Chain A
Amino acid sequence: MAHEETVYDALTNAHDDAGHWAFGTGFDDPLAGVDTTVPDGVDPADLGVYCLMLGDDALVLAQRLTEWMTNAPELEEEVAFGNIALDLLGQARLLLARAGSTGVLGRSRTLATGSIPDEDALAYFRDADEFRNTALVEAPNGDFAQTMIRLLVATTVRLAVFARLRGSRDPVLAAIAAKGVHELTYHRDHAARWVLRLGDGTAESSRRARAGAAAVWPLTAELFTATDVEARLTTLGVAVDPVDVRDEVRGVLTTVLERATLTVPAWPAETPPRGRQGVHGPELADLLATLQGLARQHPAATW
């Protein structure tokens, strides 16, 4: 019985061994021990806003993918959705913490109490107009085909950006990107494999994949236009101008869709980057109401 009891009895004295917690679920500030000094010549406000853009994309997409949990077509997909959402959530936590370290907290700090860490102040106590994510990630999931097409597009763009950000002059951003590249390579591969199966599967799945692409493609209109912040930070070697990844992204997507025997929809005319500037549809407000409701109901609570 000795083995049986040790498993359970460890409970009440199990609070001193942080090494047992799963990665990303420990108590530490995600940037604990990291030098967060902003590089010379870089405006901390610009760097913070840029981190919000990348962090909000990850947070919002993670939330959308999490909606699939307990609803996925197969148990293997429950695990995959969970994995991808966890990776993106991990990226979001690092990026929001990095934004907080530059002092970019917007109105969140007027609502969140002092015991709430920056990453949570930013995730839970900003309104939609302070979110900097693109329209691509906030759109509802649609069916499994649309979800996978969106995931393919979002991870292709993000992987292309992160691959370049590994050389960022901000060492924190470079480190986050270096870690993220491995994760995003898997995410993109997972999505691409599904797009192949669906596009070249049955007549029904092919029809749905085409409809998914038709719904997702217009959301790429704002992806390749730089904001002023991105333009300034690109000049300083900190950020990536999204126009620089456009050809690569379109090339990858075209390859995957063609192999999936799908027609590549026409690329939409490019528009200003509204999402990056805080302009969003009602879907984001709904998503945030769910995400933030409990935390805002108890602003003095610790979790």
Chain B
Amino acid sequence: MSAPSLDRPTAPDEKALQDQFDATLAADHRIEPRDWMPEGYRKTLIRQVAQHAHSEIIGMQPEGDWLLAAPSLRRKAVLLAKVQDEAGHGLYLYSAAETLGADRADLTDKLIEGTQKYSSIFNYPTLTYADVGVIGWLVDGAAICNQVPLCRSSYGPYARAMIRVCKEESFHQRQGYELLMTMMRGTDEQRAMVQDAVDRWWWPSLMMFGPPDDDSPNTAQSMAWGIKRHTNDELRQRFVDMSVPQAEVLGVTLPDPELCYDAATGHHRFGQLDWDEFKRVIAGDGPMNAVRIARRRAARDDNAWVVEAATAYAEKHGA
């Protein structure tokens, strides 16, 4: 029996590492950046976190289009703070992705080249100021339903980023709802604007939860890894159940004739989503896909000289 060689430490084999990873998940503890993780877990997380970060950044645009025209100074301040928060969320999330070995500039390139996705909801246009409120209420509401469970994601940096993101999102949602309440107390034209916006955003909001469970191939693995906590259909159902009473308080009609309460299940039944439209928009053929990406591309390319200057200055001055 010989003593283990000191100059050649035996790395724990992959099996032991995998066992330790599995035990961490089983105990509902967090995986941290320096922990060993399976390559599939790392890749799936980078994709998920990057897609989320991209959604925050692209998500600045639909509402950002109303920043210059917000109809009161208070509304302008509220909206500016919100759009700024979204930039901040993008920053935290890109940072979380960087703890997995990704690089922000590279992820941005992938967004612009179309090899990474963002939430399909942001490919719809914002036609009136009511859209700002409806995005807050429904889109941020759906995002919260999706994201609150991610505060318990098995990956520590993502879970911690999500706690902060969710707090701010819930604030945005309330501001959006409050705008709609104010508009509903306003003129007939304003009430019509709100209803019209609800009509346009309701179905796309339901699509934010992703494809139905029987068409969501990654869900089972992601749930086993603890980076997804509920299925798409579970979250969608929860969102519908929460939104119905809120629509009643607001005084708007949700555009679904099949929507009704099912006393037997305690849930609301709702109509069939247009999954063809979902696939079209995801594939890049939504009303605003090209515009959204062109804006990001221009921000990157037209200002590349600024980034180069900052880099050159830092090199010269050791900053």
Chain A residues close to B by CB (< 8 Å): 3-4, 7-12, 14-15, 20-22, 24-25, 27, 59, 63, 66-67, 69-76, 78-79, 82-83, 85-86, 89-90, 92-93, 96, 116-117, 119-120, 123-124, 144-145, 196-198, 200-202, 204-205, 208, 290-291, 293-295, 298, 300-303
Contact = CB atoms under 8 A, between A and B. Distances in A.
A90 B77 CA distance: 8
Give chain A's interface secondary structure class.
helix
A9 B174 contact: no
28 contacts: A7-B166, A7-B170, A8-B141, A10-B170, A15-B178, A63-B68, A66-B68, A70-B83, A73-B304, A73-B306, A73-B307, A75-B90, A79-B84, A82-B81, A82-B84, A86-B80, A117-B72, A120-B73, A120-B74, A124-B72, A144-B306, A197-B314, A201-B312, A202-B305, A204-B309, A208-B305, A301-B183, A302-B190
Contacts of A12: 177, 245-246, 249
Contacts of B174: 10-11, 14, 20
Contacts of B72: 116-117, 120, 124, 295, 303
Contacts, number: 189
B51 interface: no
Contacts of B242: 8-9
Interface string B76-104: 11101101100110110010000000000
Interface in B167-213: 167, 170-171, 173-175, 177-179, 181-183, 185-187, 189-190
B166 A92 contact: no
B80 A123 contact: no
A87 B201 CA distance: 32
A147 B129 CA distance: 28
A83 B64 contact: no
Interface of B: 57, 60-61, 64, 67-78, 80-81, 83-84, 87-88, 90-91, 94, 129, 141, 144-145, 148-149, 151, 166-167, 170-171, 173-175, 177-179, 181-183, 185-187, 189-190, 242, 245-246, 249, 295, 298-299, 303-310, 312-314, 316-317
Contacts of B70: 294
B289 to A, nearest CB: 16
A4 B77 CA distance: 28
Contacts of A10: 170, 174
Contact of B84 (A14, A83, A123, A295): A83
B60 A78 contact: yes
A205 B306 contact: yes
Contacts of B313: 196-197, 200-201
Nearest to A115: B186
A264 to B, nearest CB: 20
Contacts of A86: 77, 80-81, 84
Nearest to B104: A75
B295 A70 contact: yes
A303 B75 contact: yes
Contacts of B74: 24-25, 27, 93, 120, 303
Contacts of B69: 290-291, 293-294
A6 to B, nearest CB: 9
The 5 A-B pairs of least Cβ separation, nearest first, read A201-B309, A82-B84, A205-B309, A73-B303, A78-B87
B299 A70 contact: yes
Nearest to A59: B73
Contacts of B87: 75, 78-79, 82
Contacts of B90: 75
B316 A200 contact: yes
Nearest to B87: A78
Given A20-B174, A82-B83, A202-B308, 20 more contacts: A3-B151, A4-B148, A7-B166, A12-B246, A69-B80, A69-B83, A70-B299, A71-B299, A72-B299, A73-B299, A78-B84, A120-B74, A197-B309, A200-B316, A200-B317, A204-B305, A298-B187, A301-B187, A302-B190, A303-B179
